[in-house]
Structure 1
Amino acid sequence: MISQKSKYALRALLALARAQPGETLQIAAIAGREAVPKKFLEQILLDLKRAGLVDSRRGQKGGYLLARPPQSVSLGEVLRIIEGPFMPLACVASDSDFPCADCSDERLCAVRHVLARVAAVSAEILNATTLADVLADPSVIPAERLNGAATGARQLF
């Protein structure tokens, strides 16, 4: 499950993606349009700015705008910025420092293997879906950009 912060970040980025190239949006406008608390949105936009997804401009016509085209910002990238690496189980991470305390051999753990596949497929879909895809048709996942069944658990969410 993703956090409310991630949902707000995606809403804010979609609002910025709807704007004309170079057009800035003020925090109050985004917050009002997307039903996001203004103070929380300020923190989120700062995180996104540090990560290079948004830029800000000062002055009378200041505000926020996307730093990259919407077709180059994947939902997976946004979720990794806001949530950090996501794994349904700590032991699923390939570089995990958190082995399962209740597994005698992680290589034989069926639960770990199933959840690793679920995480990999979810990540594949999120990494292949951009802000532009969502704006074009939010009900369609760009299947032509998916590689099929994912088998690894690298670079998730």
Structure 2
Amino acid sequence: MVLTRRSKYALRALIYLARVRGTGAVLIGEIAEKERIPKKFLEAILLELKNKGILESRRGKGGGYQLAESADKVMVGQIIRLMDGPIAPVRCVSPTAYAPCDDCPNEETCTIRVIMREIRAKICEVVDRTSLSDLVEREEQLRLAANRALSFDI
């Protein structure tokens, strides 16, 4: 499974909105600039997230986008599925978009399917328990660790 650019951009935009939550609605241009996402592409992504109830938008002065609910309620797995569809390294292990593999002689004894099912389960376990709040917190921890690595005493 490869995370699409669409999912990555959606997650980056949502993490940004989670980070600045409480400061009001944020303009698309600000998100695009800060996260280095092409504005036109971001517009389509944010509109879809709004239509799915993840974001709220406001028009006019003070307008822009903000999270529709708290960042600890928005899970990474939810966003990946909204943007890319089912999480599955191969279609024969997807519970919602199952399709047999064209080149598999016997699905019941396929060891590739067995390991792919385990991989899918582990991926889902992580992304379904990780919220936007968790990512904002991890981002801050990484930033602090990077700053400590750069600072030294003489």
For Structure 1 versus Structure 2, the TM-score category normalised by the shorter chain is 0.7 to 0.9
Runs of at least 5 residues in structure 1 that lack an aligned partner in the other structure: 141-157
Please tell me whether the aligned partners of residues 25 and 65 of structure 2 are also in contact (alpha carbons under 8 angstroms): yes
Question: How many residues are paired up?
Answer: 140
Q: Following TM superposition, by how much is the alpha carbon of 1:138 offset from its aligned partner in structure 2, in angstroms?
A: 3.8
Residues 113-132 of structure 1 aligned to structure 2 (within 5 Å): 113-132=114-133
Looking at structure 2, the residues matched to 64 and 95 of structure 1 have their Cα atoms a distance apart, in angstroms, of 31
Overall identity of the aligned pairs, in %:
40
Quick one: distance in 2 between partners of 1:115 and 1:73?
A: 26
Larger Cα Rg: Structure 1 or Structure 2? 2
TM-score of the pair, normalised by structure 2: 0.85
Q: How does 1:63-82 map to 2 (within 5 A)?
A: 63-82=64-83
Higher helix residue share: 2
RMSD, aligned CA: 1.7
Q: Is residue 47 of structure 2 the alignment partner of residue 46 of structure 1?
A: yes
Q: Which residue of structure 2 lines up, in the alignment, with residue 109 of structure 1?
A: 110
List 4+ stretches of structure 1 deviating above 4 A: none
Q: 1:97 to 1:78 in 2, by over 3 A?
A: closer
Aligned partners of 1:22 and 1:65 also within 8 Å: no
Equivalent residues of 2:87, 2:124 under 8 A apart: no
Where does residue 94 of structure 1 map in the other structure?
A: 95
Whether the aligned pair in 1 keeps the contact of 2:28 and 2:64 (CA below 8 Å) is: yes
Mapped to 2, the partners of 1:130 and 1:139 lie a distance apart of: 14
Counting only pairs closer than 5 Å after superposition, residues 53-68 of structure 1 correspond to structure 2 as 53-68=54-69
Give the 3-state SS of the residue equivalent to 2:128 in structure 1: helix
The 3-state SS of whatever aligns with 1:104 is: coil
- The change in CA–CA distance for 1:48 and 1:138 in structure 2 (over 3 A counts) is same
Question: Aligned-pair distance for 1:88?
Answer: 1.0
Structure 2: runs of 5 or more not aligned: 142-154
State the alpha-carbon separation in 1 of the partners of residues 128 and 98 from structure 2.
Answer: 25
**Separation (CA, whole Å) in 2 of partners of 1:3 and 1:93:** 18
| C-alpha distance in 1 between matches for 2:82 and 2:45 | 10
